């Protein structure tokens, strides 16, 4: 029995509802990523390979806030974070502040496989990618007009503060929904679990800011004894609550079911703290749980012998 879930971020709805065509694009993007992972699981591939393949497919699509199409920092560049973890033997690889490596999750996987360390950041992470022969791109490769408009809209209220109304620029329009971090969790035929997450972080973030996504235990976690988790939402809160590990710990030490652990964390604890977001999780029995306390979360899942499910709201 295999199980696979992917997400394309949780968050508020865009100011204007997504058009049918745009919603269809997101659904197709999620479906393609799900299929990339599912194909491997069907052929007895590993959970680790499946989550890497699914997240790479999402990184390569400009629609999502990871790899190409990621949000911009306040200085208009892209800094990417990613992590991957295998639940057998607690193997993990993570990278942050990546600026040149085309697929940060692939780099995280190389760290997991080849590096004596778990977490590399900044220029040294990009240099490690080059050493391992991974594809490199200029930072501009990641930058799309949509994200430039999004940053302009974020800056607009401040740019001309104090100037007369007539002198104000028209607000930049953003048809990009304010979500898009991507992730995947899987259980393979052998019962092994894995999780991966990749993101550009939060639009307009200060350069050097690292969110929860690449932090093992906060945004990404997998342990064959409990579950695999990938989160999305307000990263600072997911760091403070060590959210992904919190779910695994509820199963391990608290005797929770996956459903009850996720319900309590996402629908009760995080809202009490004022934290918005969601997560995808899978347990040893191939149960998939997906919850979000935001209006929207791009998500898709499939289990062996069952139809794939894809949802935007």
Would you tell me which residues interact with ligand ASP (CB under 6 A)?
9, 179, 181, 199, 201-202, 211-213, 219, 232-233, 235, 238
Q: How far is the CB of 235 from ligand ASP (least distance, A)?
A: 2
Q: How far is the CB of 201 from ligand ASP (least distance, A)?
A: 4
Cα 243 from Cα 235, distance rounded (Å) = 10
| Other Cβ atoms closer than 10 A to 121 | 17
Q: How far is the CB of 189 from ligand ASP (least distance, A)?
A: 30
| Residue 181 annotated to the active site | yes
CB neighbour class for 167 (10 Å; exposed up to 12, middle 13-18, buried from 19): exposed
Compute φ and ψ for 311, nearest 5 degrees: -140, 150
Q: Specify the residue, 45 or 201, whose C-beta has the smaller distance to ligand ASP.
A: 201
Q: How far is the CB of 287 from ligand ASP (least distance, A)?
A: 23
Q: Specify the residue, 82 or 193, whose C-beta has the smaller distance to ligand ASP.
A: 82
CB neighbour class for 141 (10 Å; exposed up to 12, middle 13-18, buried from 19): middle
Q: How far is the CB of 45 from ligand ASP (least distance, A)?
A: 26
DSSP class of residue 266 equals I
Tokens of 209: 């800011």
Question: Which residue is nearest to ligand ASP, using beta carbons?
Answer: 235
Q: Specify the residue, 150 or 213, whose C-beta has the smaller distance to ligand ASP.
A: 213
Tokens of 126: 């990009």
Q: Specify the residue, 207 or 254, whose C-beta has the smaller distance to ligand ASP.
A: 207
SS (H, E, C) 107-165: HHHHHHHHCCCCEEEHHHHHHHHHHCCCCECCHHHHCCHHHHHHHHHHHHHHHCCCCCH
Q: Specify the residue, 201 or 217, whose C-beta has the smaller distance to ligand ASP.
A: 201
Instruction: Give the contacts of 165 (CB within 8 A, at least 6 positions apart).
Output: none
Q: Specify the residue, 39 or 311, whose C-beta has the smaller distance to ligand ASP.
A: 311
Q: How far is the CB of 238 from ligand ASP (least distance, A)?
A: 6
> From the candidates 73, 181, 197, 232, which is the catalytic residue?
181
Cα 31 from Cα 54, distance rounded (Å) = 10
Please write down the long-range contacts of 161-167, taking CB distance under 8 Å and 24 or more positions apart: none
CB neighbour class for 200 (10 Å; exposed up to 12, middle 13-18, buried from 19): buried
Active site residues: 181
């Amino acid at each position: 029995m295999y199980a696979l879930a992917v997400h394309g971020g949780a968050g508020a709805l865009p100011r204007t509802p997504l058009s049918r065509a745009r919603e269809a694009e997101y659904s197709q993007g999620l479906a393609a990523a799900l299929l990339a992972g599912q194909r491997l699981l069907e052929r007895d591939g590993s959970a680790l390979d499946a989550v890497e393949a699914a997240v790479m497919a999402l990184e390569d699509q400009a629609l999502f806030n990871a790899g190409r199409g990621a949000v911009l920092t306040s200085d208009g560049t892209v800094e990417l974070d990613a992590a991957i973890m295998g639940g057998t033997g607690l193997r993990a690889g993570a990278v942050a502040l990546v600026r040149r490596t085309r697929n940060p999750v692939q780099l995280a996987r190389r760290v997991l496989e080849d590096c004596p360390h778990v977490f590399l950041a900044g220029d040294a992470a990009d240099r490690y990618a080059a050493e391992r022969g991974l594809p490199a791109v200029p930072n501009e490769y990641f930058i799309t007009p949509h994200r430039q408009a999004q940053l302009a809209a974020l800056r607009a209220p401040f740019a001309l503060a104090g100037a007369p109304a007539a002198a104000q620029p028209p607000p930049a329009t953003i048809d990009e929904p304010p979500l898009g971090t991507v992730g995947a969790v899987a259980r393979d035929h052998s019962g092994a679990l894995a999780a991966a997450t990749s993101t550009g972080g939060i639009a307009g973030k200060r350069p050097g800011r690292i969110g929860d996504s690449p932090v093992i235990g906060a945004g990404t976690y997998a342990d064959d004894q409990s579950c695999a988790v990938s989160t999305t939402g307000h990263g600072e809160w997911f760091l403070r609550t060590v959210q992904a590990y919190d779910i695994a710990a509820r199963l391990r030490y608290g005797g929770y079911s996956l459903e009850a652990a996720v319900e309590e964390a996402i629908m009760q604890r995080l809202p009490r703290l004022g934290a918005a977001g969601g997560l995808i999780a899978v347990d040893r029995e191939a149960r998939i749980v997906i919850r979000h306390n935001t209006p929207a979360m791009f998500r898709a899942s499939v289990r062996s012998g069952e139809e794939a499910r894809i949802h935007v709201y």
